[in-house]
Amino acid sequence: MTSEQRYSGGCLCGAVRWSATGRPLYQGYCCCADCRRASGSGFVPFMGFPASAVAITGETLKVRSPAFRGGEALRNACPVCGGLVFGGEVGVDDSHTIYAGSLDDASLFAPTMALFLRDKPAWVVLPEGLEAFETMPG
């Protein structure tokens, strides 16, 4: 009998926590200008899960910005420490993008793709072998 993979994490101070079961739908790096600015880094490492597989506790600061394909992107950060934790609206969206930097066990992150390479700074070096996209995949 095999048990489902479990993931957990949260913000820097622990006021916002999340857990997920099952394998991520996708994992990778986003180098878009919005993710770079939101993270203060060259990219955001992310993992996508169905909303039904994710449990989130704690209140979040919701930051909205225009999305690449129209509409809004929603990032959730801790209102206490400011740590970015996940994307998407709980109870509304059918999936959530968890920021891999919030993982309790960072070794569980296994990226397979890189997004928005058109925006990647030259000083960002990504692992070899990733499926690469100039913007969002089709």
pLDDT of residue 102: 97
**Does residue 1 have a pLDDT over 60?**
no
Better-predicted residue by pLDDT, 115 or 66: 115
pLDDT (mean) for 59-76 = 88
pLDDT of residue 68: 76
Amino acid at 105: D
**How far is the C-alpha of 118 from the C-alpha of 109, rounded, in Å?**
23
Q: How large a percentage of the chain has pLDDT more than 70? A: 99
pLDDT of residue 67: 78
| 43-74 residues labelled b (16+ CB within 10 A) or e (exposed) | bbbbbbbebebbebebebeeeeeeeeeeeebb
pLDDT (mean) for 34-52 = 95
pLDDT of residue 9: 98
Q: Quick one: pLDDT band at residue 127, thresholds 50, 70, 90? A: very high
User: What is the rounded end-to-end Cα distance, in angstroms, of the chain?
Assistant: 37
Structural domains in the chain, sorted by start: 8-132 (3.90.1590.10)
Q: How large a percentage of the chain has pLDDT more than 90? A: 88
DSSP 5: P
